[in-house]
Amino acid sequence: MVNRPCAPPEPAWVVLDTNTVLDWLVFRDPEVGALAAALTAGTLRWLACPSMRRELERVLGYASLARWNPDRERVLASFDTYADMVAEPPAPATWLRCTDPDDQVFIDLALSAQAQWLISHDRALLKLARRARTRGLRIVSPAQWGAPG
């Protein structure tokens, strides 16, 4: 019997909503610490599309973020470094509609790319978790993703 080294497991694919990205790159929320570590280590692959980057750019300009003084260039550079950019997802899945049209792109990309995770705080996305699970997609909050077990 030949002893061969095992190939490392493929990194899981994840889609992050904009608020999760802000928690990580602007607010430095400890709740996303395990997620950030997995992303920066490459054990988790973050999938994004151009409309997600544009949304992040827009949100970084919101007056409500001014008190955190986000470093726009650093945040966008981190996005560019860690996000694997893919094409815009195809037309929305008619069987899994988000009640917030602005968030539909997150579910569509996660499903079309066959991501394992969609991480979000958004109630409209989290409400789709049970139905998405039948397609192999787990929609969870950052705290749920990082929870043991």
- Looking up residue 78, the CATH number of its domain turns out to be 3.40.50.1010
Q: Is residue 79 part of a domain?
A: yes
Q: What is the pTM of this model?
A: 0.90
pLDDT tens-digit map of 85-124:
999 998 766 678 888 988 999 999 999 999 999 999 999 9
Give pLDDT tens digits for 6-16.
655 688 999 99
149 pLDDT tier (thresholds 50, 70, 90): very low
Task: Note the pLDDT tens digit of each residue in 26-76.
Answer: 999 999 999 999 999 999 999 999 999 999 999 999 999 999 999 999 999
Contacts of 56 (CB under 8 A, 6+ apart): 18, 21, 22, 75, 76, 79
Tell me, yes or no, whether 99 lies in a domain: yes
pLDDT (0 to 100) of residue 16: 98
Q: How many domains does the chain have?
A: 1
Q: What is the DSSP string of 57-80?
A: HHHHT-GGGGGG---HHHHHHHHH
The reply to whether 120 falls in a domain is: yes
